[in-house]
Amino acid sequence: MGAGLGYNSDSFLNCQKGGPMESSTPPSDALSRHRDALRAQLVSVGDMRPGSLVARYRKCGKPSCRCAGQGERGHGPSWSLTHAVEGKTHTKIIPAAAVPRTLEQITAYRRFRRLIRELVDVSKQLCDDQLEAPQAASTEAAKKGASHAPSSPRSKPRSTR
């Protein structure tokens, strides 16, 4: 499993050094740290949009214009964002001033997708570990609660409406 994944979970686990404090650290501990790191990165992903930016050059057709010259690409570039939705290609004009920002948004989207895939995979492994060792899962939860204040609404006040 995990043959086609973009990251190497084996090396991640192997680089976990068993310090004196945690000589019997279960693999799920490393996995849950990895999961927490991925979640933190997901929160920091900025505005995003799918698609790719395409530069277009256009010849106006006037023989006197410089764009008619040999080796000229034409006027431009003009930028558009193309994005396939259910087999149809959607195109959006991007003003030149917005190109750097749009590139960042496209990069953010790709990063988001990569993080999601990785998080799903790590989470799946954690779920498998919990199935195999329900005891370890409960001690991990207890440790988590002790190390830093839990943000989970464990004692959520009942809404009385």
Please identify which residue in 67, 99, 108, 133 interacts with Zn ion, judged by CB under 5 A.
Answer: 67
In the numeric block, which tokens belong to residue 124?
């799946």
Helix (H) or strand (E) holding 94: strand 88-94
Phi-psi region of 71 (alpha: psi -120 to 50; beta: other; left: phi over 0): left
**DSSP class of residue 157?**
P
Specify the residue, 4 or 63, whose C-beta has the smaller distance to Zn ion.
63
In the numeric block, which tokens belong to residue 55?
């530069």
User: Helices H, strands E: what count in the chain?
Assistant: 4, 3
User: Least Å distance between CB 109 and Zn ion?
Assistant: 35
User: Least Å distance between CB 69 and Zn ion?
Assistant: 9
Q: Is 119 in the site for Zn ion (CB under 5 A)?
A: no
What mask, x for binding Zn ion by CB under 5 A, covers residues 20 to 59? ----------------------------------------
Phi, psi of 87 (to 5 degrees): 85, -15
| Number of residues forming the site for Zn ion (CB under 5 A) | 3
Specify the residue, 59 or 101, whose C-beta has the smaller distance to Zn ion.
59
Q: Is 108 in the site for Zn ion (CB under 5 A)?
A: no
Binding site for Zn ion (CB under 5 A): 60, 65, 67
